[in-house]
Amino acid sequence: MGMVWANMGLHTTAEPGQWLSTWHQALKTDGFLMFSCLGPDTLIELRALYEKLGWPAPAQAFTDMHDWGDMLVEAGFAEPVMDMERIVLTFETPERLLQELRELGRNLNPQRFGACRGRQWKAELMQEIKASEASRPLQLTFEVIYGHAMKPLPRNKMTAESVISLDDMKASLRQHQGPKG
């Protein structure tokens, strides 16, 4: 294929490097990958609250954009470009904030609580959210990372002694010379 567009999916998998490698294999030479995903500053307000209460983090640790660039290169992509933005959502009520989190889906944190939480836990969470609201608006930060990269022409592997066919050598020379004028 010529292009992979992966919007807000990579942070939902435990092994994103495998996805990058799969996409690299599926793309044709000069194919283009574009993606977006959540970054490490996502839910910083809720993370601080959970830490204060001694609870495991409310979500998995998200990958930094510089690490995404390194993983792209490791998977075989070229010319990675990374960017990010922070989006801050404010909420009228703690109930609406929690509804938003439920709608977002999964929590891949390996230390998360393995069973269903009870009413007492939810009541404590709601009380703490309301208490934090007194000092500032009720908000959640989402760091969104954007990246794109190209699948380059395969490189000829060089060793102490390398064999390259004449056709491959001609193609390589044509590529580096550019169009004839």
Which of 11-15, 19-23, 73-77 has the lowest average pLDDT? 11-15
Mean pLDDT of 4-20: 88
Q: Which of 57, 77, 60 is nearest to 68 (CA)?
A: 77
pLDDT of residue 156: 61
Residues 75-93, mean pLDDT to the nearest whole number: 94
Residue 125: pLDDT above 80? yes
Is 70 exceeded by the pLDDT of residue 114? no
Q: How far is CA 151 from the centre of its chain?
A: 19
Question: What pLDDT was estimated at residue 134?
Answer: 64
Structure tokens at 81: 């470009």
Between the alpha carbon of residue 82 and those of residues 34, 36, 43, 89, the distances in Å are 10, 10, 21, 23
Mean pLDDT of 141-161: 85
pLDDT greater at residue 41 or residue 118: 41
Give which of 43, 159, 138 is closest to 95, Cα–Cα: 138
Tokens standing for 19?
A: 């996805």
Residue 89 CB partners (closer than 8 Å, separation 6+)? 100, 139, 140, 142
pLDDT for 57 equals: 85
The more confidently predicted of residues 37 and 101 is 37
pLDDT confidence of residue 80: 94
Query: For the segment 44-56, what is each residue's pLDDT rounded down to a tens digit?
Result: 998 998 899 888 8
Q: Which amino acid is residue 76, in one-letter code?
A: G
Distance separating alpha carbons of residues 32 and 79, to the nearest angstrom: 10
* Residue 162: count of CB within 10 angstroms of its CB: 8
CATH fold group of domain 3-177: Rossmann fold (3.40.50)
